[in-house]
Amino acid sequence: MADSDGEFVADDMSDDDIMDHTVTDGDPNAARPKGSKPAKRKRDRNGGSKAWEQSRRTWETDLPEESDGMLNLAGYEAERRRRLLRDTTPLQRGIIRHLVLVLDMSFAMAEKDLLPTRYRLALSYAAAFVREYFEQNPISQLAIVGMRDGVALRVSDMGGNPAEHLERLREYEGQDPSGNPSLQNALEMCRGALFHAPSHGTREVLIIYGALLSSDPGDIHDTINNLVAERIRVSVVGLSAQVAICAELCSRTNVGDDSQYNVAMDETHFKELFLALTTPPVNRTKEQSTASLLMMGFPSRTLAPGGTSSYCACHSQPCREGYLCTRCGVKVCRLPSECPACGLTLILSTHLARSYHHLFPLRNWVEVPWAEAARSTACFSCQSPFPEPPKANKEKGKDEAAPAKAPAKGVSESGRYKCQVCDHHFCIDCDVFAHMVIHNCPGCQSQSQQAAAAAAPLTDGVEANGNGHTTNGGMMAIDG
C-alpha cells in the first residue's frame, strides 16, 4: 500500500473498480439492508455494494444542498420517521420480564472497528441498556453475565435495582478483554439464573457476541435443546459477522423466528439493535404466555410519626419515610420489592402504568399533502409555524420540479403530520416526541371523548388510541 489516503485512486483502475471501492454514502433514500438476512447478502454479492460498505459513519452523512443553498433535510427527516413508524397492532407482550444480558469479554472485543473499542462501546451501551430497560419495564428483573477466558463470569445477580447493575458494570470498565468466549458455558449459567423465574414471566437471554468462535466443553446442541424445553428465548447481537450456531440458537429458541439474530454494521446500528431489546417481546405461543393472577400490594408512602426514624426491613437502615406492606405492615424503603416478612409483591401503581403503552400503542400519524395543508398554520402542540402552501401562480414551475425532488418515503411534503383520530396537524419533532417518549396524542388528549367522536365519526378507533381504559375488550391478539 503506497498511500493510505482514501482519495488515492491508481491510474490503471478501470471504472468498475473505482465503483467497487467507493463507499456509498450519500443516498439516504435507499433502504438499509438488514444485516441478518443471509439470502439478501448473497444477492448483494452479485451486484451493488456490500452491507458493510453501506454503513455510515457520522462524518460520511453529508447533507445534500439544494440549489438555493438550503440544506435538504428530507433524508434526515425520513430517517427519524423510519425509526418511529412501527406496527401498532396491540400484540400480547411479556410484560413481566426476566432477562440475562450476556456480554462478550473475549479477545475479539479488543478490536477497534467500533470506536473506541468494541469492549468499551459495549459496556457504555450496556449501561444505557440497563437504564432504559428498567424505565420501560419497572417490574422486571435483570442479570448480567460475562464471557471471558473460556468460562462464564457472573457480573451481577438477578435483581430489579438498576443502580446495583450499573455499579457492577463500572467495575469491569478498567479491565481488558481476554481469552476465548464460551457460548455454552454462558448459556448454562443463564439457564441456572432463569431456573427460578415464575411461569407468568418471560425468560430471555440477550447475547452481545463479538467473536466468531466459541470454545465449549460439550455439545452445544444439547444446551439448545434444554433451552427450548425451558422456554428460554435467546437474542443475539453480533459485532463481526454472521455465525451459523447463533442463527440456529435464535431461531430454535424463538419458535422459528430468525429476526432475533442481527449483526451490527456501525455504532449507531449497534445501539439501535441493542436498545430495541428493551421493548417487551411478543408472545407467540400458548406456552410462552402462561397467564396468571398475581396478588400485589399498593402501599402508600408514609412518614414515621413525630419526625422519628425507624429501621426498614429490607436493608436494616434507619429511614424516615417508607412504605408499609399492606398485608403485614412491615416497612420497606424502596419499591418495587417483595415484602421481606410475608413475601407479598409490593409495587407502585405507577409502575404498572409505565407498561401500558406497550399494550396499547399510539397509532402512527400520516403525512399531509399540500392539498390539505392550508387549514393549519402552526403545529397544534408546540405552536411552531409550518411552511406555507405554495402559491397558485407558482404552480406551473412546481409541477416541473416535483418529480425531480419527490420527498423520501414517510416524509410529509408539507411538513405536517396528521393524527387520524383527532385530525390535528403536528410537526416532525412533536411526532417523534409523541411516539417515542410521551405515548399520548396531544390532539386527542386535548378534547373530550364526545368531541373526538363528533370530529371523527368514521373512525371507530377513537377509543383504542393509546388509552387502555376505554379499549374495546379482547383485542390483544397472539401472533402466529
- One residue of 24, 49, 72, 92 binding other proteins per CB under 8 A: 92
Q: Which is nearer to other proteins, 180 or 279 (CB)?
A: 279
Stretch in the footprint of other proteins (CB under 8 A) among 46-54, 365-373, 380-388, 410-418: 380-388
- One residue of 217, 387, 397, 468 binding other proteins per CB under 8 A: 468
- Please confirm whether the linkage preceding 116 is cis (ω < 30° from 0): yes
Using CB under 8 A as the binding rule, whether residue 401 contacts other proteins is answered as no
Stretch in the footprint of other proteins (CB under 8 A) among 143-151, 235-243, 308-316, 383-391: 383-391
Using CB under 8 A as the binding rule, whether residue 466 contacts other proteins is answered as yes
What lies within 8 Å, CB to CB, of 200 at 6+ separation is 96, 290, 291, 292, 294
**Pattern of binders to other proteins over 172-191, x per CB under 8 A?**
--------------------
Please report how close the Cβ of residue 8 comes to other proteins at its closest, in angstroms.
29
Rounded Cα gap, residues 428 and 415, in angstroms? 7
Q: Which is nearer to other proteins, 375 or 405 (CB)?
A: 375
Please report how close the Cβ of residue 100 comes to other proteins at its closest, in angstroms.
20
What lies within 8 Å, CB to CB, of 198 at 6+ separation is 96
Q: Segment 34-73, which members bind other proteins (CB under 8 A)?
A: 58, 61
Count residues binding other proteins (CB under 8 A).
89
Q: Segment 102-161, which members bind other proteins (CB under 8 A)?
A: 128, 131-132, 135
Rounded Cα gap, residues 322 and 315, in angstroms? 12
| Crossing angle of the two packed helices 162-171 and 118-136, in degrees rounded to 10 | 170
8 Å CB contact between 93 and 84: no
Q: Which is nearer to other proteins, 255 or 438 (CB)?
A: 438
Please report how close the Cβ of residue 359 comes to other proteins at its closest, in angstroms.
6
Strand 151-159 relative to strand 318-319, pairing: unpaired
Q: Which is nearer to other proteins, 76 or 370 (CB)?
A: 76
Using CB under 8 A as the binding rule, whether residue 78 contacts other proteins is answered as no
Among residues 431, 353, 348, which one has the least CA distance to residue 386?
Answer: 431
Rounded Cα gap, residues 279 and 87, in angstroms? 13
- One residue of 219, 409, 470, 480 binding other proteins per CB under 8 A: 470
Q: Segment 280-309, which members bind other proteins (CB under 8 A)?
A: 289-303
Strand 318-319 relative to strand 310-311, pairing: antiparallel
Rounded Cα gap, residues 479 and 93, in angstroms? 10
